[in-house]
Amino acid sequence: MNILSCKTPGEFEYQESPIPQLSEGRAIVKIRRIGICGTDLHAFEGTQPFFSYPRILGHELAGEVIEIGDNEEIMQGDLVTVIPYFNCGTCVACRNGKPNCCQKISVFGVHEDGGMREYVSLPISSLVKKEGVTLEQLALAEPFAIGAHGVRRAGIRPGQFVLVIGAGPIGLGVMKFARIAGATVIAMDVNEKRLEFCRDVWNIPHVVKAGKSAHEVIQEITNGDFCETVIDATGSLTAINQGFQYIAHGGNYVLVGLQKGEIAISHPEFHKREATLMSSRNATRADFDQVLDAMASGQLSVEKYITHRVRFDQVKDDFSSWLNPETGVIKALVEM
């Protein structure tokens, strides 16, 4: 079978490899679609933390089950997506129902070789199927699940103002599920094209360009209250630090984006708000189920979210272009 390996930052190589053999508790899945995410892009450019090379990237996946061991839910021929966060099942997080932040977590395509290959062997427990959804929808369940998880962490209620900082693929997912939760969403980004997408395609009622005037604009939108929930989906240290100023008194700040440095805040400003700061990591099966239900019911459409499509044999040549914001890429999808 054909695989695509990121040998070193900036270098891909197609290789031949044997098709994996079936083993207990696992399934052989033929990969049909691969979504390209920020983690893949960061790995390619050499800025992804805790990463080693060579590595087969790819964790936003849709595929067809070719062979499978004994189980009661997934059958040969089923179309599935993958929960790519493989957990130990025994650590304190797993014991408390939080496998998404397992102490020994191994993320497919990050900590171990992922799905940029024709066939993969996967734990049956990681597979999710849903009748009435397409391969494209299955492939994009994972990034939307991350957004859904962040919204669930925030405990958003109808009528609240929610500021989402970062209008990339994850931020757009956060916005969608914040709206499903009944919030009034404000989108913030430095990229005007992405703000246009939020307004014209995603139907976000308020878009704000990050900068000196943003504080005044958000104050006006919220009638001086600011935002009951602020969610960062940038991973930018500057954006994260600036986000504290938009929290309403009694509000929440949820960090979905990740950066390597130390956060700096004004303790008095944070303290007087009795604000809550929390992180949101990965997603759970409940989040995947929510996303797939929204897709199946028509609440969530992905057609306009996919801006670039390529064949597997084109990925090596096209991948670097997706690092350039001028290409207008929201989500690139690989078709096998």
pLDDT, tens digit (0-9, with 9 covering 90-100), for 7-46: 999 999 999 999 999 999 999 999 999 999 988 998 999 8
In a domain, 296, yes or no: no
Question: Chain-wide mean pLDDT for the chain?
Answer: 95
Q: Do 61 and 150 fall into the same domain?
A: no
Gap between the Cα atoms of 138 and 161, Å rounded = 30
Confidence grade of residue 48 (pLDDT, cut at 50, 70, 90): confident
In a domain, 284, yes or no: no
Gap between the Cα atoms of 7 and 113, Å rounded = 12
Q: Do 9 and 91 fall into the same domain?
A: yes
Confidence grade of residue 113 (pLDDT, cut at 50, 70, 90): very high
**Residue 6, beta-bridge partner list:** 12, 55
Gap between the Cα atoms of 9 and 44, Å rounded = 5
Residue 72: pLDDT above 90? no
Gap between the Cα atoms of 75 and 196, Å rounded = 43
Report the half-sphere exposure of 287 (CA within 13 A, side-chain side). 28
Q: Do 208 and 228 fall into the same domain?
A: yes
Averaged pLDDT for residues 284-313: 95
Q: Do 232 and 306 fall into the same domain?
A: no
DSSP state of 20: P
Q: Residue 183 is part of a domain; what is its CATH number?
A: 3.40.50.720
* Nearest one of 179, 42, 144 to 187, comparing CA atoms: 179
- Cβ within 8 Å of residue 188, ≥6 positions away: 163, 164, 165, 166, 167, 207, 208, 209, 210, 214
Q: Strand pairing of 227-232 and 247-255?
A: parallel
Residue 84: pLDDT above 80? yes
Neighbours of 16 (CB within 10 A): 7
Question: How confident is the model at residue 311, as a pLDDT?
Answer: 97
Q: Residue 26 is part of a domain; what is its CATH number?
A: 3.90.180.10
* Domains in the chain, number: 2
Residues of 65-91 as b/e, b for ≥16 C-beta within 10 angstroms? bebbeeeeebeeebbbbbbbbbbeeeb
In a domain, 268, yes or no: yes
Averaged pLDDT for residues 244-252: 98
Residues in the chain: 336
In a domain, 203, yes or no: yes
Question: How confident is the model at residue 259, as a pLDDT?
Answer: 84
CA-based end-to-end distance of the chain: 12
Q: Do 275 and 312 fall into the same domain?
A: no
In a domain, 294, yes or no: no
Question: How confident is the model at residue 47, as a pLDDT?
Answer: 81
Residue 178: pLDDT above 90? yes
Q: Do 244 and 115 fall into the same domain?
A: no
Residue 49: pLDDT above 80? no
Q: Do 151 and 257 fall into the same domain?
A: yes
Contact in structure between 229 and 163 (CB atoms under 8 Å): yes
Sign of CA dihedral 106, 107, 111, 117: positive
In a domain, 295, yes or no: no
**Residue 175, beta-bridge partner list:** none
Question: How confident is the model at residue 195, as a pLDDT?
Answer: 96
Residue 177: pLDDT above 90? yes
Confidence grade of residue 146 (pLDDT, cut at 50, 70, 90): very high
User: Which of 264, 279, 294 delimits the end of a domain?
Assistant: 279
Whole-prediction pTM: 0.95
Give ∠ CA 140-311-288 in degrees, rounded to 5. 10
In a domain, 252, yes or no: yes
Radius of gyration of the chain (CA): 20
Gap between the Cα atoms of 278 and 182, Å rounded = 21
Domain containing 230 equals: 146-279
In a domain, 247, yes or no: yes
Residue 240: pLDDT above 90? yes
Q: Do 74 and 150 fall into the same domain?
A: no
**Residue 13, beta-bridge partner list:** 5
Backbone angles phi, psi at 325, to 5 degrees: -60, -25
* Nearest one of 128, 87, 123 to 282, comparing CA atoms: 87
Confidence grade of residue 215 (pLDDT, cut at 50, 70, 90): very high
Q: Do 217 and 102 fall into the same domain?
A: no
Q: Do 90 and 111 fall into the same domain?
A: yes
Gap between the Cα atoms of 118 and 31, Å rounded = 5
DSSP H or E segment with residue 296: helix 285-297
Question: How confident is the model at residue 327, as a pLDDT?
Answer: 87
Neighbours of 187 (CB within 10 A): 26
Question: CA 21 from chain center: how many Å?
Answer: 30
Residue 226: pLDDT above 80? yes
Q: Do 136 and 188 fall into the same domain?
A: no
Question: How confident is the model at residue 261, as a pLDDT?
Answer: 83
The residue written with tokens 């900036």 in the block is 10
Q: Do 120 and 172 fall into the same domain?
A: no
> Cis omega before residue 158 (within 30°)?
no
